[in-house]
Amino acid sequence: MAAASVLALSACGGSAELAAGGAEPDSVGGTRVVVDVEGTEVEVPEAPRRVVTLSEPTLDGVLALGLEPIGTVTGRGQATVPAYLQDVAGDLPVLGSVAQPNFEAIGAAGPDLILVDGTSVNNNPDVIAALREIAPVVYTGYAGGDWRLNFGLTAEALGKEDQAEEIIADYDERAAAIAAELEPEYGDKTFSIVRWQGGGAATILQELPPGAALEDLGLARPPSQDMRGRGHSNPVSLENLEEIDADYMFFGTLGGSSVDNPQAGGSADVEEAESALQTAVETPGFSQLKAYQEGNIIPVDGSAWTSTGGPLLMTRIIEDVREELLR
Amino acid sequence: MSASSKATPVGTVSHPGQGRSRRHVVLRASGRSLKVERRTLSVCAVMLAVCAGLGTAGLLLGDYPLTVRQVIGYLFGDHTDPLAGFFVREQRLPRVLLAVLVGAALGVSGQVFQSLSGNPLGSPDIIGFTTGSATGAVLQIIVFDAGPAGAAGGALLGGFATALVVYLLAHRGGVSGLRLVLVGIGIGLMLGALNTLLVARASLVAAQTAAQWLAGSLNATTWSQVGLVSAALVLLLPMALVRGRTLTAMTLGDASAAALGIRPERQRLVLVVCGVALVAVATAACGPIAFIALAAPQLARRLTRSSGAGLLPAALMGACLVLGSDILAQRLFAPTQLAVGVVSGTLGGIYLIWLLAMERSRL
């Protein structure tokens, strides 16, 4: 490694500071400056090769751009990478959890770029400062922020803006096409997104990616969810259970893991949603819900539907909707 | 109180024969003398060794692969790999030190309140002070959008405010231990509910920050945190430690204490303020670390087999427990990191169940 550092040093005087940062890897070429969402000017390699993603949206974004991160963190509420990315990212080294990145494991992986956003590390300057000791850190977005902007900054950090624009355009086109197909039959219906966890329900409001996806598809939400709330899921008291009701209900769960118990396991996939649904039905009042009585509860992958992510997640959601509603 | 026959009869220090008994040693320095039970002294020595051992383990263990020799080198300023130096000097070392400081503070605070209330459950984490500190911090994070420093300030204020409320409510011509515990548990539960409500009603960003803070973590410890906590402890620990004897005398009841020349009300006030400040500073530094204040004094007492209010053993035990819990938290599911409060909470929960079972069989 020492030899590699020396080589890197002599090869590019411009990135001397990076090389001094430790495990300077084999990215070739100079550096660029990216201004991240917090306004910090970050000097990143021309073409980063060893990227670590510390949040769901950045992992999703990097994978969408065709790169494989050298390490990432577990998904929200899960002990592994997010379930919806399991097939593409299941083998990636896990370098901590979404709330507590493991600095030493990240350092040992030797990244040349660290991507993180407000959905994992927020308002904790100490954590960002520690990460900046390891490699350049680009903070790509705020929690509950627009996924397109987050993805855009992710792409800019990687030097792949053009590709990102294409991906977003493809998504928009696809969403518009599905929306047109849905309109005749579902134009006057309402759609609820519910996360069932720990014996209770929470609704997903509009600014989380799944809310944005339904909006892109032109699907209406019931009044209690047709709002930009405080940016996250809205816990619903069991005596107000009718607030989760709508003509159709997308129903997911996020396993049992939390900040307090990241190893609780449980999973977030469709099967888990089905078994959570069986518990939910036992709850007084649930079987009176219109969506239940009309057989319109659709179990979905909670890691995609009730958390956060990037273009892969958005595509997954609109395809889920197409498959479920336009069969 | 069956152990009282074995305990040091405090206040009889002037009996010349006692100092030479086999059970005690007399430490003399600059004209002052301190009589200590031999067993307490050796237990303290052992705990100090355990603490040093755990501290060393904390310095050596980590996911950035370093040999023992390398760690020693980087501790003393080796600069071959700046990143390794950063991990050893700026991450592992302050983290270990903060664990020791916070553990000692919690142990002493727990001992102070358990002795004053004469109840093993009269510990700041049971009677709501820790929860109150958390409320202060959570309010800062959620309402005022504060960062770590603001949260710490909120925790200090919250701890003191809660202590004041609990004491005022429990006060009825003096504070009885049982009243204090019951009122404290009630207030603690209410504040716990308030914390949950605040998090549930907060914006996503703030809720996330608050939830992480509430778990109690030593991740990303910085030297400035260590500095602030040490400064507080340099002031508070001696203030409490010199009152160890007073505290032991006060466990005999105010009348007996007064007969020994102690002014119970005044000493109690100093000890209470000290105890609250210690738990509030510890909570401000790294969030609520559960159960240390409850378990450390009692484990220490069981080891020393002393009925007195041994503050030093409680401090050492607290330091060992937090250090040990933090190492477990880091290594148990590595590279995934737990929060230290989760591990100490789990261990402490088991201890609490055992304690309740014992108390019950005694009734």
3-state secondary structure chain B: CHHHHCCCCCCCCCCCCHHHCCCEEEEEECCEEEEEEHHHHHHHHHHHHHHHHHHHHHHHCCCCCCCHHHHHHHHCCCCCCHHHHHHHHHHHHHHHHHHHHHHHHHHHHHHHHHHHHCCCCCCCCCCCHHHHHHHHHHHHHHHCCCCHHHHHHHHHHHHHHHHHHHHHHHECCCECHHHHHHHHHHHHHHHHHHHHHHHHHCCHHHHHHHHHHHHCCCCCCCHHHHHHHHHHHHHHHHHHHCCHHHHHHHCCCHHHHHHCCCCHHHHHHHHHHHHHHHHHHHHHHHCCCCCHHHHHHHHHHHHHCCCCCCHHHHHHHHHHHHHHHHHHHHHCCCCCCCCHHHHHHHHHHHHHHHHHHHHHHHC
Q: For residue A136, give the nearest of A292, A219, A261, A23 by alpha carbon.
A: A23
Task: Give contacts of A206 with chain B, Cβ < 8 Å.
Answer: none
pLDDT one digit per residue (tens) for chain B, 363 residues: 344 444 444 443 444 444 455 677 777 776 666 677 788 889 999 999 999 999 999 999 999 999 999 999 999 988 889 999 999 999 999 999 999 999 999 999 999 999 988 888 888 988 999 999 999 999 998 888 887 888 889 999 999 999 999 989 988 877 777 888 999 999 999 999 999 888 887 877 788 788 888 888 898 899 999 999 999 999 999 999 888 888 888 777 777 777 877 777 788 889 999 999 999 999 999 899 988 999 999 999 888 887 777 899 999 999 999 999 999 999 988 888 888 998 998 888 888 788 778 777 766
A120-156 pLDDT, tens digit per residue, is: 887 788 899 999 999 999 999 988 788 999 999 999 9
pLDDT of residue A135: 96
Backbone CA torsion sign across A156, A162, A166, A172:
positive
This complex has an ipTM of 0.82
To the nearest 10 degrees (0 to 180), the angle between helices A56-64 and A147-158 is 60
Tokens 């591990």 found at = B343
Query: What is the rounded CA–CA span in Å between residue A78 and residue B333?
Result: 14
Instruction: Reduce the secondary structure of B33-87 to three states and give it as a string.
Output: EEEEEHHHHHHHHHHHHHHHHHHHHHHHCCCCCCCHHHHHHHHCCCCCCHHHHHH
pLDDT over threshold 70, residue A284: yes
Residues 40-69 of B with CB under 8 A from A: 62-65
CA distance A109 to chain B (A): 9
Residue-level pLDDT at A231 = 55
Q: Does A95 touch chain B (CB under 8 A)?
A: yes
A118 interfacial to chain B (CB closer than 8 Å): yes
Q: How far is B228 from chain A (nearest CA, A)?
A: 15
Structure tokens at B299: 């484990």
Q: Where in chain A is the domain with CATH 3.40.50.1980?
A: 2-158, 172-325
Q: How many CB pairs under 8 A join A and B?
A: 125
Structure tokens, B183: 């009122």
Query: What's residue A255's pLDDT?
Result: 63
Q: Do the Cβ atoms of B339 and A100 come within 8 Å?
A: yes
Q: Tell me the pLDDT band of A114, cut-offs 50, 70 and 90.
A: very high
Residue among B249, B228, B238 at smallest CA distance from B274: B238
Inter-chain touch A103–B220, beta carbons under 8 Å = yes
Between positions 143 and 162 of A, the ones with CB within 8 A of B are 143-144
Distance (Å) from the C-alpha of residue A1 to the closest C-alpha of chain B? 10
Topology of the domain comprising A2-158: Rossmann fold (3.40.50)
Of the partner residues B148, B202, B212, the one whose CB lies closest to the CB of residue A230: B202
In this predicted structure, what is the pLDDT of residue B7? 42
Q: What is the pLDDT of residue A59?
A: 95
The architecture (CATH level 2) of A172-325 comes to 3-Layer(aba) Sandwich (3.40)
Contact (CB<8Å) A104/B338? no
Q: Is the peptide bond before A25 cis (omega within 30 degrees of 0)?
A: no
pTM exceeds 0.80, yes or no: yes
Q: B336, A74: Cβ pair inside 8 Å? A: yes
The answer to whether residues A21 and B83 touch, using CB atoms and an 8 Å cutoff, is yes
Instruction: Quote the pLDDT of residue A55.
Output: 92
Residues 6+ apart with CB under 8 A from B17: none
In this predicted model, which residue has the larger pLDDT, A270 or A52?
A52
Asked if pLDDT for residue A262 goes beyond 70, the answer is no
Predicted local distance difference test score (pLDDT) of residue A11:
38
> Quick check: A108 and B64 CB within 8 A?
yes
Q: Which of A1, A95, A259 sits opposite B335 (nearest CB)?
A: A95
Asked if B205 lies within 8 A of A122 by C-beta distance, the reply is: yes
Q: List chain B residues with CB under 8 Å of A79.
A: 336
Q: Do B336 and A235 touch (CB under 8 A)?
A: no
The residue among A123, A126, A134 with the most chain B CBs within 10 A of its CB, best to mutate, is A123
Reply yes or no on whether the pLDDT at A3 is more than 60. no
Which residue's entry shows tokens 């179990």? A299
Q: Where are the beta strands (DSSP E) in chain A?
A: 31-35, 41-45, 51-53, 113-116, 137-139, 191-197, 200-203, 234-236, 248-252, 297-299
Q: Average pLDDT for residues A229-245, to the nearest whole number?
A: 77
B219 with A118: Cβ contact below 8 A: no
Q: Quote the pLDDT of residue B136.
A: 94
Position A14, amino acid = G
pLDDT digits (tens, 9 = 90+) for A151-200: 999 999 999 999 999 999 999 999 999 999 999 999 899 999 998 877 78
Q: Which residue has the higher pLDDT, A297 or A265?
A: A297
Strand, coil or helix: A119: coil
DSSP-derived secondary structure letter, B286: H
CB contact under 8 A, B212 and A134: no
Q: What confidence score (pLDDT) does residue B111 get?
A: 93
